[in-house]
Amino acid sequence: MNKHTKTAILIAPILAVLSFAATDMYQEHQASAKRIFVMQVQDQCDIQAKKCVLKSDQFLLSFSHADGKTIINSTYPLDTATLFIVEADNQASVHPLGMTLTPYYWRANTDLAQRLAIPGNSQKLRIIANIKGGSYIGEFTSTTQ
């Protein structure tokens, strides 16, 4: 075995570890790049009946309302979430959601119970959920059945 082969055998594992680390850092950087994803309602949305799910690929947001609080549950941990209740004149009231025990569950005090109390009532809502530089946005209407 000549000296070039010996040097290659010694350097190859070091280069493999360094390339693995560099690839991991590059992918982490790409994951934190700013991106916007649009979410769509699965089936129909009825927050009062806890049947409201928004979807974007494998990411799901589930909405419900209980005891004066609007609650969302996500399939991935969120960094922040903001709910907008849209009025008839297209003006929105902002409701920043606060994390409960885990970053999978978020809630805010809202008056959706009064707005959706009567069957047939509907309310337009918007959501912005942020995960590592990605913003998931959606506009949907909840209709009480």
Residue 138: pLDDT above 80? yes
Q: Is residue 125 a contact partner of residue 70, using CB atoms and an 8 Å limit?
A: no
The pTM assigned to this predicted structure is 0.74
Q: What is the pLDDT of residue 139?
A: 93
Q: 130, exposed or middle or buried, with CB in 10 Å at 0-12, 13-18, 19+?
A: middle
Average pLDDT over residues 26-50: 86
Output 77 or 29, whichever has higher pLDDT.
77
Range 31-56 average pLDDT: 88
Residues 35-143, CATH architecture: Sandwich (2.60)
Q: How wide is the angle at C-alpha 124 spanned by C-alphas 123 and 128, nearest 5°?
A: 130
The total of other beta-carbon atoms located within 10 Å of residue 117's CB is 10
